[in-house]
Structure 1
Amino acid sequence: MSEISAEQVAHLANLARIALTDEEIDHLTAELGQIMQAVEKVSEVATPDVPPTSHPIPLHPPLRVDEVGDVLTVDEALEGAPEHDGSRFVVSAILGEEQ
């Protein structure tokens, strides 16, 4: 089992240009050690006959087939609009004059 030292954590923090206090280094040393132990456990059971996956159960998107159905005409869509120009909704500008 490989362990990580406080010196290694301080070195990594320095490479990442992160200023850490001694207390933060001690805390991160313990946390990173736990993470490395978890990765080692997974590595022990990961064998060539087990394909890597992101989920233990295959995911299939719950999509339905696209089917053309009854749709609104332009006039029907615009009939309840507070403002329209005959073919589009008219809304106030939100980004200013640069449009």
Structure 2
Amino acid sequence: MPLAADQWYGLIGIAVAVAGLVRLVTVQDLVARLVSLNVMGVGSLLLLMAVASRGAEVDPLLSALVITGLVITVAFTGLGAVLIRRLEGPDGGEDELP
């Protein structure tokens, strides 16, 4: 029995989220961790869209939540990049006292 399109998207969403989680746990670099958090977010949004498209019609509420999640992801990615830059600093994260 072949899988429907929403089931495929659900499985792909789970796989992408798990891949991001594995990368988040195994890497030490802060930028790589930020990217892996973004990958996990994309996987969860893909899974949410798979749930939204299960019926004859696409649920508009879940679609709006996905669009809102994309906007929030962009904002927090920018915030995370600024925080990483502040933590690491121009000298590689070593703070020197005057």
Normalising by the smaller structure, the TM-score range is: 0.3 to 0.5
**Which is greater in Rg?**
1
TM-score scaled by length of structure 1: 0.32
TM-score scaled by length of structure 2: 0.32
